[in-house]
Amino acid sequence: MLGGWMIRVLLAEDVQMVRGALVALLDLEPDIQVVASVANGDEIFPAVMQNKPDVAVLDIDLPGMDGLSAAALIRDSVPETRTLILTSLGRPGTLRRALTARVNGFILKDAPINQLADAIRGVSVGRRVIDSQLALAAWDGDECPLTPRELEVLRLAADGANAMEIAKRLFLSVGTIRNYLTTVTMKLEARNRVDAVRIARKSGWL
């Protein structure tokens, strides 16, 4: 316990067994209290507003809002709540996205529980905690060749939107969206749009 202070934690993880195990293990730590746990990304921000945790531990891949989008929302709206990304996606592009979102920490799910607890303690006092292996991987990894707009178009396509729906969302013409998708496919040397989504996800760019 840091000078008698309990670190209040919110945990967002969609796999019930993993979430339950993490809550149980973290509650064994003398200075950490899990005040809320959610399974859906859309539940994160309301739970943060209700419980005012010191640290939000967020999985990246969640139904609803993804963990990085939630982290950015927390940073902009409740900056006193620190964010720690917990993920099995140890890809360089994923870490780069997390750093761009200015999260306070990034750690793999298969890290020992004491490492997670120490990461929570670190970010709670303002340190940035990044797994050293992930940091090296990000340094060595390929840069994303897509522009922010191209990524935005591809992300909407990955969510199942067609060219007309994407055009409406982004206030662009259908022809412009098709041109973006063609450019994305060429840049990623993909066979088609589905293959482009696969490549971008595998690299951690989406």
Topology of the domain covering 148-202: Arc Repressor Mutant, subunit A (1.10.10)
Topology of the domain covering 7-139: Rossmann fold (3.40.50)
Whole-number percent of the chain with pLDDT over 90? 61
pLDDT digits (tens, 9 = 90+) for 6-31: 999 999 999 999 999 999 999 999 99
Q: Which two tokens stand for residue 112?
A: 């020992």
pLDDT at residue number 137: 55
| pLDDT confidence bin for 131, thresholds 50/70/90 | confident
Which among 18-32, 124-138, 141-155 has the top mean pLDDT?
18-32
Of 132 and 159, the structure prediction assigns the larger pLDDT to 159
| pLDDT confidence bin for 5, thresholds 50/70/90 | confident
Domain ranges of the chain: 7-139, 148-202
The dihedrals phi and psi of 197, each to the nearest 5 degrees, come to -60, -45
pLDDT digits (tens, 9 = 90+) for 25-50: 999 999 999 999 999 999 999 999 99
Contact 203, 137 (CB under 8 A): no
- pTM recorded for the entire structure: 0.66
